[in-house]
Structure 1
Amino acid sequence: MSTPQPPTTQPPAPQQPAPHWQAAPGPSYTSPIPVVRTHLGHALASEWTKIRSVRSTMWTLGIFLLLVIGIGFLVAAQTSDSDFADVPYTVPAFFGLILGQICLITLGVLVIASEYGTGMIRTTFTASPQRHRVLAAKLMVFFAVAFVVSAFAIGLVGLFTASLHSEPSSTPWAGTVVMGALYVSLLGVLALAVGSMLRHSAGAITAMLGLVLVPAILPAFLMLSESMRTVGEKMMEYNAPNSLAAIFGMDTENGGAAQLGLLAGLTAAAIAGAFVLLDRRDV
């Protein structure tokens, strides 16, 4: 006869840990760092810090001032009172702007295309995920810098020219300071928009130089043909050198408003394209 075995007891099952997605009970953590809602002002401050701290800005704007003021002073020193009978005292600045506008075009491209070239644009968009805010800040900061520097250079040349001549000019020249600075600044903004779309410094600068130089050279060949003469004449009227000449009163029939309006429309279209492509493409 077998001896009955004592009943066996099962050890208690170990408790399963809580799933990792469930937070452990306890007091919530509050960061001591204040959280501030970002806005356009922060983006403007960031872009202002960038544009004034890189050496390319100092070089391009320095060369721009040297060309506009230097050439303007040299031309003004060779003029007489009779030369300003029907043109403003800012005309000598026109000759410097013909070359100086290339500096603003180059700077406009570098403001954004250089970040794509170095990869720093990823850091910029990580810090400010609202891409449209970044592009808007770049456009506003660059335009303000370009306009102030251009107006200063043109106005200084006008004051220097006026100081060399005893008779006041019969043509007011304050408007040419504003319109001339606005024209070359819009060219720089157009270059910035093109740089945003192409994302390549050399390609964007080449495209902008073609946009400025080709309409100034091609009409001479187009007007050799009777069928293309009208196109050549319009291109001659609205190219950059002749547009600046009209703004500075060297074309008495046109004050440059039509040329400035065309450039403003072209710049607005390029900015719209830059905003559309900015949201559709990855970095």
Structure 2
Amino acid sequence: MAAPSAVLQSEWTKVKSVRSTVWTLVSALLVTIVISGLICLLTATQWKNLDSNDRLQFDPTSTSFSGLWLGQLALIVFGVLVISSEYSTGMIRTSLAAVPQRGTFYASKIAVTGVLALVVGMATSFITFFVGQAILGSHSTSISDPGVLRAVFGGGLYMTLMVLFSAGIAMILRSPMLSLGILMPFFFLISTILANVPGAKKVARYFPDQAGSKIMQVVSVNDERPYGPWAGLLIMVVWVAAALIGGYVVLKRRDA
């Protein structure tokens, strides 16, 4: 029987030894910071051209996270690769032979993935916020203003949950191509489109990304979502829990 500490060490070694997984996290950080910074710069330079309604709805905190829509692409890829790369190479058989306790194996893999995502997510969130506010200048907000620290901290939690959701789906599907083929269109097309369709947005607002992103919002003018920031994050947690439980059930019942 493999000791949990040894399994954790093994999973950490797997992650850091595969360059593609490491670089996806680095890419998530860099892309989010750069794109957010550019959008903040564009906003600051075009401020005088905004009408009164746009200025009323302006949320400097949310604007500093505007590059996350692209940065989360790398987060999704990371969550998928950490799980499904062993299936695509056939190494999953060796891993399960070495660690026959599938619950311990799965928990260790998710724990390592979650901790890495949390560290990178928090670093990305705070750096992105401070860079964005520096660029916004006189139109910026402060970390001490009401709701701002919650939004910045919540941004790191959102990124972590996005990775864990992707990992759970990847364990269910056990294929990197199939997992990415479902997750990418869902988050970048289906969720966004349905959220803007009158007849469907009442359902789309409960999708994991739509609900979870509420935590990063401070100014909520004209926001029709019927829940608050923490309730939105809780909805996302339920999605993540369902994905992770589904992944465990599949791992437990199916052969490698």
In structure 2, the CA distance between the partners of 1:168 and 1:116, relative to structure 1 (3 Å rule), is closer
Q: 1:52 deviation in Å?
A: 1.3
Task: Give the letter for the 1:244 counterpart.
Answer: S
User: Do residues 267 (structure 1) and 240 (structure 2) align?
Assistant: yes
CA distance in 2: counterparts of 1:215 and 1:162, whole angstroms: 28
SS in 2 for 1:95: coil
**Residues 191, 210 of structure 2: 8 Å contact kept:** no
Partner of 2:80: 109
Q: How many residues align?
A: 240
**Residues 216, 236 of structure 1: 8 Å contact kept:** no
Q: 1:160 deviation in Å?
A: 2.3
5 Å-filtered alignment, 1:35-184, equals 38-80=2-44, 90-164=61-135, 165=137, 169=142, 170-184=145-159
CA distance in 2: counterparts of 1:97 and 1:250, whole angstroms: 18
Q: Could you tell me the TM-score, scaled by structure 2's length?
A: 0.81
Task: Give the letter for the 1:275 counterpart.
Answer: Y
In structure 2, the CA distance between the partners of 1:220 and 1:175, relative to structure 1 (3 Å rule), is closer
Identity of matched residues, %: 33
Task: Give the letter for the 1:179 counterpart.
Answer: G
Task: Give the letter for the 2:28 counterpart.
Answer: F
Structure 2 residues not aligned, in runs of 5+: 48-53
The structure that has the greater radius of gyration is 1
CA distance in 1: counterparts of 2:201 and 2:27, whole angstroms: 32
In structure 2, the CA distance between the partners of 1:145 and 1:89, relative to structure 1 (3 Å rule), is farther
**Aligned-pair Cα RMSD in Å:** 2.8
Aligned counterpart in structure 1 of residue 178 of structure 2, from 184, 187, 203 = 203
CA distance in 2: counterparts of 1:87 and 1:215, whole angstroms: 23
Q: 1:238 deviation in Å?
A: 4.5
Q: 1:140 deviation in Å?
A: 1.0
Q: 1:201 deviation in Å?
A: 0.6
CA distance in 1: counterparts of 2:186 and 2:63, whole angstroms: 24
Partner of 2:231: 258
The structure with the largest helix share of the pair is 2
Any idea what the Cα deviations from partners look like across 1:27-71, whole Å, max 9, x if unmatched? xxxxxxxxxx73221111111111112111232112212211101
Q: Could you tell me the TM-score, scaled by structure 1's length?
A: 0.74
Task: Give the letter for the 2:118 counterpart.
Answer: F
CA distance in 1: counterparts of 2:169 and 2:16, whole angstroms: 22
CA distance in 2: counterparts of 1:219 and 1:172, whole angstroms: 24
5 Å-filtered alignment, 1:197-236, equals 197-212=172-187, 213-221=189-197, 223=198, 229=199, 231-236=200-205
**Residues 122, 155 of structure 2: 8 Å contact kept:** yes
CA distance in 2: counterparts of 1:159 and 1:198, whole angstroms: 38
**Residues 64, 133 of structure 2: 8 Å contact kept:** no
Aligned counterpart in structure 2 of residue 194 of structure 1, from 136, 160, 169 = 169
Q: 1:249 deviation in Å?
A: 2.0
Any idea what the Cα deviations from partners look like across 1:102-157, whole Å, max 9, x if unmatched? 21111111111110110001111111111111111111111111111111112012
Structure with the bigger RCO (C-alpha within 8 Å, sep 6+) is 2
Task: Give the letter for the 2:240 counterpart.
Answer: T
Q: 1:89 deviation in Å?
A: 5.1
In structure 2, the CA distance between the partners of 1:244 and 1:220, relative to structure 1 (3 Å rule), is closer
Q: 1:250 deviation in Å?
A: 4.2
